Amino acid sequence: MRTAVFIQVRLGSTRLPRKALLPLRGGNVIQHVMRAMTGVPADVRALLTDMHSAGELGPFAQTEGYEVFPGPDEDVLSRYCMACRAFDAGTVIRVTGDNPLTSGRLAREILALHAAQGADLSHYLGIPWGMGVEVVQSSALFAAEQEARAADEREHITTWLYRNRERFSILEPEAPASARLPDAVVTVDTPRDYQRVSAIFESLGRAGEPIEAEQVIAWFQSGAANG
């Protein structure tokens, strides 16, 4: 079975409409998410979206070497499981489309730890909100698909797994010191988030080079976020 980078994204957000297409230096939010994962070893790369968003996201996906996989709007767990079956994915690197500062380096490192320990679900603790990924086995997602009933367990694909820890091997190591800043936020969920992330890209962005964790940490520690 294959390793897949699956980025979940849709354009119907209400708090910050169409945030995946908001411009950032050198592209837009979803383009930078895709570019951040360029160095992560994977057999499949796809945007997992809904039917309403697929057409508009398609040209950006194609430019970055991604496929588009449309599925249910609210039942994101089913969307992921459908994609796992379609692409024969055994290991999924789950990325969200509002995190343009996702760290490719941390993704590679947690993927290696996940494989070495034979985990079902892995992620780092202590990094800025919006910088990390989850690595999860499709077998665990299929178990959730069969048993998860609550709305939040269908919308957030790993919630049911965390609620049933005794059944799964869940790896949650502390992040490397160079990436540890748990109170920082680099996701794009509100207008204020977008202003902050835009400032980071204006300060640190370089053409064709994803911004890495240690650069973002240094930016926060310099006090730029309060400027």
pLDDT in tens, 126-183: 999 999 999 999 999 999 999 999 999 999 999 999 999 999 999 999 999 999 999 9
Alpha helices in 37-125 (DSSP H): 51-63, 76-87, 104-117
pLDDT digits (tens, 9 = 90+) for 35-74: 999 999 999 999 999 999 999 999 999 999 999 999 999 9
Cα gap 1→215, rounded to integer Å? 35
How many CB atoms sit inside 10 A of residue 30's CB?
Answer: 27
Q: How is the chain split into domains, by residue range?
A: 2-226
Residue with tokens 């910088």: 131
pTM > 0.75: yes or no: yes
CB contact at 8 A, 7 and 46:
yes
CATH fourth-level superfamily of 2-226: Spore Coat Polysaccharide Biosynthesis Protein SpsA; Chain A (3.90.550.10)
**C-alpha separations of 156 from 2, 139, 159, 160 in Å:** 22, 16, 6, 8
Q: What is the H or E stretch that residue 43 is in? A: none
| Percent over 90 (pLDDT), the chain | 93
Q: Give residues with Cβ within 8 angstroms of 181, minimum separation 6.
A: 126, 127, 128, 217, 220, 221
- Residue 125 C-beta-side C-alpha neighbours within 13 Å: 5
